[in-house]
Structure 1
Amino acid sequence: MIRLESLTKVFDTQKGAVVAADHIDMEVPEGEICVLLGPSGCGKTTTLKMINRIVKPTSGKVFINGDDTTGLDTQTLRRNIGYVIQQIGLFPNMTIEENITIVPKLLGWDKTKYKARAREMMAMIALEPDAFLKRFPSELSGGQQQRIGVARALAADPPVMLMDEPFGAIDPINRAVIQDEFLKMQQDLNKTIMFVSHDIDEAIKMGDRVAVFREGKLVQYSTPDDLLAAPKNAFVESFLGEDRALKRLNLVKVREIVTDEIGTVIPSDTLESALAKIDDYGYQNAILMVNERKQPAGIINRSIARTTKGYCRDHFQAVPAVVDLDDDLRKAASLMFAHDQTWLPCVDKEGTVCGQITQRAMTSHLGARYRARQGDDRKPSAAIKE
């Protein structure tokens, strides 16, 4: 959907020519989010702004859906590209409804259609239309204004969206909420998005692909998992940080490594049989007790089963934690550390036990990509050569 062909920008300054973007070649497939990542002054924002010609390219071409945009007039180009910036940029003298509908009006939509679209967009960003449409931006919080900025960019249903650190000015709690809401919207909208960020965690969370820039050059363009598991050179490796393996926890869902080999007991089982199952399944300290619906009901500890007689229903402890199949490994690891557990039961949407996840399985899964690289010729500490 977006293709950059040798896109270059050179600024003339008093100290001479400065290359802000140096022959950038990349493609963003339809329906994907591409995050442009890198240190300040690396060229990511300049590259983004050349797409909608806020910055005019020195050379190179931009293709949208296969069409060369060089010959398009600027207004036509921009009306077909949604644009969201960190500073939000809402018009203070316009109501929220007027802000959202400004581009549909310019495109000639009739009043009934653009008013309906405003209400639709408000519902999409989880703000009540009747409560907010007639307000002015100054009457909204920063987080609410940012949501309106996203709604305005989406109002005319553009195939492409450009987002320049759109959530950077929002506090961490609201930023996480808006990120999650936006990703849910994207599942339905299927927009093609280029997204500038300086936050590695945000890039990993939001991006289908991540483009790492340095001094105007595109250094690496990969999926988040490939980027973290196989940084191209020492610069990328250093920029991602020494905890990049932990960052991969966000990318893997529990369902990818869950195993259905989980031993369980029911309340009417004896502690003797519980101890036998603990030994059979290799657990170090406990086994899960489930109710008649196969939902977690308690934990039988090895120490209790070994020293006490009776039934499981009379000697269980509360289940420390469970994880859903759609949780990521970061949550699973956090719960394991918090409750001093080496395994956790996994449940489906109905709360039914469907398996377990272990620290060993998580470690093995994350390490597999690194082990696969042992035969590579690349040396992680090699200096970047440009």
Structure 2
Amino acid sequence: MIRLDNLTKVFDTPKGAVTAADHINMEVPAGEICILLGPSGCGKTTTLKMINRIVRPTSGKVFINGEDTTGLNTQELRRNIGYVIQQIGLFPNMTIEDNITVVPKLLGWDKAKYRERARELMDMIALDPDAFLKRYPNELSGGQQQRIGVARALAADPPVMLMDEPFGAIDPINRAVIQDEFLKMQQALNKTIMFVSHDIDEAIKMGDRVAIFRAGRLEQYSTPDELLANPKDEFVESFLGEDRALKRLNLVKVRDVVSDEIGTVSPSDTLETALARIDDFGYQNAILVVNDRRQPVGLISRSQARTTKGYCRDHFQNVPATVSLDDDLRKVASLMFSNDITWLPCVDEAGRVCGQITQRAMTHHLGSRFRPTEPAATAEPATKE
């Protein structure tokens, strides 16, 4: 959907020419989010702004859906590209409805259509249209204004969106909420998005692909998983941080690591049976008690099974936690650490036990991706796993 061909920008300054973006070559497939990441002054925002011609390229070309945009009228180009910035940029003298519908009005939409579009978008960003559409920007919180900025960018249903640190000024709690809502929207909208960020965790969470910039050049362009596992050079590795293996916990789901081999007992089984099952699954120090619907109801520990007689129904302890197939490994690790355990049962949507995840399996899975391989390509990212 977006292709940059040797895109270059040189600024003339009193001290001479400064190359802000140096022959940038990259492609963003339709429906994906590409995060531009790097230290201040590295060229990521300049690259973004050259796409909608806020900054005019010195040389090179921008292709959108295969079309060279060089000959397009600037206004026409921008009306087909949604643009969201950190400062939001809402018009203070306009209502929220008027702010959202600016571009549809310019495109000649009839009143009923653009007003319905505004209500639809308010629902999408989780703000009540009846409560907010007639308000003015100064009556909204910063986080609410940022959501309106996103809605305005989506109003004319553009195929491409450019976002310049759109959530950077929002506090961490609200930022996480808006990020999650935006990702849910993206699943339905399937936009092609280029997104400037300074936050590595945000890039890993939101990006299908990540482009690392350094001094105007594109250092590495790959999926978050590939980037964390195989940084191209020392600069990329240091920029990602020493905890890059831990960062990958956000990318891996329980379903990628879960084992369907899990020992269980029923409430009517004896503690002697429970001890034998624990021995069969030697890396566990406890066995899961499940009811007749295979839902977890408790745990029998090894020490308890050794020293006590009777039935499991009379002696089980509470299950400290369970995880679902769609949880990420960061949540799993947090639950394991907080409960001082090395395994957790996994349940399906109906709450039935469908397997288990162990600390050992997590370590093995993560470690297998960090074995040295050939350096990642600069311009041709690997496909997302």
TM range (shorter): over 0.9
3-state secondary structure, aligned to 1:292: coil
Which residue in 2 is equivalent to 1:303?
A: 303
3-state secondary structure, aligned to 1:7: strand
One-letter amino acid of the counterpart of residue 196, structure 2: V
Shift of 1:284: 3.5
Deviations 1:106-143 (A, max 9, x none): 00000000000000000000111100000000000111
Which residue in 1 is equivalent to 2:36?
A: 36
| Counterparts of 2:175 and 2:326, CA distance in 1 | 21
Alignment of 1:228-307 (within 5 A): 228-307=228-307
Is the 8 Å Cα contact of residues 8 and 22 (structure 2) preserved in structure 1? yes
Which residue in 1 is equivalent to 2:203?
A: 203
Which residue in 2 is equivalent to 1:175?
A: 175
Shift of 1:73: 1.1
**TM-score using structure 2 length:** 0.97
Is the 8 Å Cα contact of residues 232 and 376 (structure 2) preserved in structure 1? no
Is the 8 Å Cα contact of residues 147 and 178 (structure 2) preserved in structure 1? yes
Shift of 1:2: 0.2
Which residue in 2 is equivalent to 1:72?
A: 72
Is the 8 Å Cα contact of residues 50 and 56 (structure 2) preserved in structure 1? yes
Whether 1:339 and 2:339 are equivalent positions in the alignment is yes
Deviations 1:142-185 (A, max 9, x none): 11000000000001000000000000000000000000000000
Identity %: 83
Which ranges of 4 or more aligned residues in structure 1 deviate by more than 3 Å? 374-378
Is the 8 Å Cα contact of residues 231 and 375 (structure 2) preserved in structure 1? no
3-state secondary structure, aligned to 2:11: strand
Segments of structure 1 that go 5 or more residues without pairing to the other structure are 379-386
Structure 2 CA distance for partners of 1:103 and 1:377, relative to 1, 3 Å: closer
Alignment of 1:1-386 (within 5 A): 1-371=1-371, 373=372
Is the 8 Å Cα contact of residues 266 and 289 (structure 2) preserved in structure 1? yes
3-state secondary structure, aligned to 1:180: helix
| Counterparts of 2:349 and 2:302, CA distance in 1 | 29
3-state secondary structure, aligned to 2:8: strand
| Counterparts of 1:72 and 1:32, CA distance in 2 | 24
| Counterparts of 1:85 and 1:352, CA distance in 2 | 45
3-state secondary structure, aligned to 1:211: strand
One-letter amino acid of the counterpart of residue 360, structure 1: R
Segments of structure 2 that go 5 or more residues without pairing to the other structure are 378-385
Deviations 1:297-319 (A, max 9, x none): 00101111000000101101110
| Counterparts of 1:322 and 1:176, CA distance in 2 | 23
Deviations 1:343-369 (A, max 9, x none): 000011111110000001000000111
Deviations 1:277-333 (A, max 9, x none): 000111331011111211110010111100000010110111011111000000001
One-letter amino acid of the counterpart of residue 194, structure 2: M
One-letter amino acid of the counterpart of residue 185, structure 2: M
**TM-score using structure 1 length:** 0.96
Shift of 1:243: 0.4
Say what the alpha-carbon RMSD is for the aligned residues. 1.2
What count of residue pairs does the alignment treat as equivalent?
A: 377
| Counterparts of 2:334 and 2:342, CA distance in 1 | 11
3-state secondary structure, aligned to 1:316: coil
Shift of 1:377: 12
Is the 8 Å Cα contact of residues 230 and 373 (structure 2) preserved in structure 1? no
Shift of 1:81: 0.1
3-state secondary structure, aligned to 2:370: helix
| Counterparts of 2:238 and 2:332, CA distance in 1 | 27
Deviations 1:233-268 (A, max 9, x none): 000000000000000000000001100000011111
| Counterparts of 2:262 and 2:336, CA distance in 1 | 17
Deviates more, 1:213-222 or 1:343-352: 343-352
Deviations 1:7-50 (A, max 9, x none): 00000000000000000000000000000000000000000000
One-letter amino acid of the counterpart of residue 313, structure 2: R
Which residue in 1 is equivalent to 2:381?
A: none
| Counterparts of 1:229 and 1:333, CA distance in 2 | 19
Deviates more, 1:86-95 or 1:275-284: 275-284
Deviations 1:206-229 (A, max 9, x none): 000000000000000000000000
